[in-house]
Structure 1
Amino acid sequence: MERELEENYIVMKNQKTLFIIGAGASEEVGLPIGSKLKEIIANKVNIKFENPFGQQLVSGDHRILSAVRKYVAQQQEVNQGYQETFVRTGNYIHSAIGRSPSIDYFLSSNADKPEVQLLGKLGIVHSILEAERSSPLYADHRESHDPKPKLDRILNTWYNKLFMKLSNGHGRTDFQKKLHNVDFIVFNYDRCVEHYFLHTVRNLYDLDQNQAVKLLEPLNIIHPYGTVGDLPWQHSNNQVAFGDDTVTAERLLGLSNKVATFMEQIVDQKIISRMQKLVENANTIIFLGFGFHDMNMTLLQPQDSHRVKNVYASAFNESKPSQDDIRDSILNLLKANDNVLLPSDDPTIHIYDKKCTNLFDEYGRRIASCLSG
């Protein structure tokens, strides 16, 4: 009983802040949002040759074509026209994807077509790695044994504004303590958040990579739909450097199996439970560049009572009716099971119709207070 009271005291003492990140947040460092990503993928999978018997591509991406050929070679008992099936599928994706708001929706609409699923996911992985490489967060490892991104290029982004509020003149020990009270659920395939944190703590505290990794041990980031690979410093068997353009066809195939779309079932119940617990234990939730899709909100819905008092959400270019819908969606999220919140229990919800970085400008002092623990 004493142990339970002690644990409850620790939870009450430490004010937890949960960041829920969508594609609009990564856009501030050059990653494409859904509407742009689908166009990029459509062009990559639109494989066409100079003539029916030629090998010279006139459209489409050669690395995706190589991955398709690798996949076809691995299959048993397929007919000789199997590669042509993928070519036709890529042409179909290119012609039809404009009728869907994103690649995720398009893949969901074609859930019964394995060729569409494979090509779509190859396109996702290749496009995200390419976008990371074009991002100001990218540092070319071929130019230095210890490359560093040009962080001055992203000073006016939410990444930098959040980091300043976390560090805020603190030494390494106090900064690390603050990380215990911050969690991230990132619904993106990119690795921008973790990559940014590593290089920024190295820069601020003048650390080598091993020291920075040690400092960031409390940093809790969940990617419910996977990523295009773990970063090399994360020491897994699925390592891919940020923005890596040397990924082989075989590697690209393997990475495509590691990502899921939002309409696919997440089979790892532990991930779902972890996300729901983060929502339950948060005092403040901050949505950045998030789309508020029903499926994702259902995944986040806590199974027990929550402690959320304040919610902040960016809603760039959203109309007033859409902002009202977002507010309702957040309130529905925080109805644990079938228990309806009493009006006095409703959290204070702030919807801001600007970009993520502007939300930190508007509510900076309040967010800083939440992060102070």
Structure 2
Amino acid sequence: MSEKLTVFVVGAGASKEYGLPTGAELKTQIHAICDIPQVGLTNTRPDPEDDWLLSIIKEMILFDGIRSQDAGNLPNKIAAKARLINKYVNDAWFIRDNILLSPSIDNFIHTHRENPRIVKLGKALTRKLIAEAERKSSLYVDDASLQLQLPVNEIENTWLFALINCLLEAGDFDEFLDRLARVLFVVFNYDRCLEQFFKYYVVSYFRLGPKDKNRLSAALKIWHPYGSLSEANPFSSVEAFIRKAKSEVPFGQTDNDIGYLLWDPIKMFTETEGFEGLRREYRDAVIDSIEKCDQVVFLGFGYHKQNLRILSSYDATNDCDVWGTCLGLPKYETDSVQENLSQIFCGGSKDRVRLINASASDLVAEIGKLL
């Protein structure tokens, strides 16, 4: 791997290689879950047979409490609870009937941001479905098992496997860390695929102890602009994730604990504050990496204007080479993306922007020696 400073910008298409849903698939799954029956509305606790979402709605109301002037009157309290559950159910049906009309769950929540029930439901559904996808993914490892390794046969044709082989080439752990320090990952996904991969692959490969795990977490720079299932602070989750802190949400956790489901570490793209939402030391690290980078690599990225706006909110050197996947994009859209990227990173030189009609793994395998 070269001495160049590289920024990898990771979208849903890259996580798809590990079994995570694309934005379109996430909408379809939310649509299906929101098709719930209106039953058992006055139960104080969810029935085991109730649909999952109806159970969560009931728990949301218990969690928030019934704000009513008659809260001390048991019959009125029960009636108020039933009315509120009914509102949630109607909002779930509204999501069911309209989510497929929206470009994404983020757009849908933004459009209806004045309705706190829709915001809560949308985020709880997103967390639940991403966590379930993590558990079903090729990166899931059961910590209770004796085999604490990733299944190589299931991940050897993925982009991270191709990248790690470039980072590991003819080097010991110190040399690996030097190479890793020249890389920044900007991940526009809520999942922790990248953290999980490094946690198990690198720890196993180098037989790392606690001290070297800390060195790994210090060198691994991952920024989730919209947060992740770990926590809202984009950088600080890496260390906790790798060393398995008790406060860390495990990869693939799927229990329905209300604190877990209503905890709000993720932001829809319209809620982000860009670099200003980071603590100063993290913000400086991100801006410094992007301003000084020699090349930017987009993997499975949708090139949405809002996301590009975040990446362009710094003083660009206009001296970068850009690589990116454009699998499935029509030519007119590819041309537009190329023009936008050239203005952000290359001073308008479109020749320095190379968009490849390939998957993330194919692109990394093709240009790995240049990185």
Name the TM tier (shorter chain): 0.7 to 0.9
Whole-angstrom distance in 1 between the partners of 2:348 and 2:141: 50
Cα distance, 1:142–1:63 mapped onto 2, change above 3 Å: farther
- TM-score normalised by the chain length of structure 1: 0.83
Which amino acid letter does the alignment assign opposite residue 165 of structure 1? C
Match status 1:362 vs 2:366: yes
The percentage of aligned residue pairs carrying the same residue is 26
1:1-373 residue pairs with structure 2 within 5 A?
Answer: 15-50=4-39, 55=47, 59-61=51-53, 64-65=56-57, 67-73=59-65, 79-80=80-81, 81-144=83-146, 147-208=148-209, 211-229=212-230, 230=237, 232-233=241-242, 238-254=247-263, 257-266=264-273, 269=276, 271=278, 275-306=286-317, 308-334=319-345, 341=347, 343=349, 348-364=352-368, 368-370=369-371
Give distance in 2, aligned partners of 1:305 and 1:250.
41
Return the alpha-carbon distance in structure 1 between the equivalents of residues 320 and 242 of structure 2.
36
Give, as a single letter, the amino acid of the residue that structure 1 aligns with 2:8. F
Letter in 2 for 1:65: I
Post-superposition CA distance 1:310-355 (Å, at most 9, x none): 11101111121121111022123237xxxxx365xx6611101111
| Distance of 1:43 and 1:210 partners within structure 2 | 46
Q: Give the residue type in structure 2 aligned to 1:136.
A: S
Asked whether the 8 Å contact 2:58–2:85 carries over to 1, the reply is no
Of stretches 234-243 and 245-254 in structure 1, the one that deviates more from structure 2 is 234-243
Unpaired segments ≥5 residues, structure 2: 72-79, 231-236
Deviation beyond 6 Å, 4+ runs, structure 1: 51-54
Shift in CA distance, 46/76, structure 1 to aligned 2, threshold 3 Å: farther
Counterpart CA distance in 2 for 1:288 and 1:92 is 34
How large is the Cα RMSD of the aligned pairs?
A: 2.7
CA pair 46-154 structure 1, distance change in 2 beyond 3 A = same
5+ long unaligned stretches in structure 1: 1-12, 336-340
Q: How many residues align structurally?
A: 345
Moved more, 346-355 or 270-279: 270-279
Letter of the 2:172 partner, please give it: G
Tell me: CA distance 1:51–1:305, structure 2 relative to 1, closer, same or farther (3 Å).
closer
Conserved 8 A contact 1:286-1:312: yes
Offset of residue 66 of structure 1: 5.1
The one-letter amino acid paired with 1:248 is: D
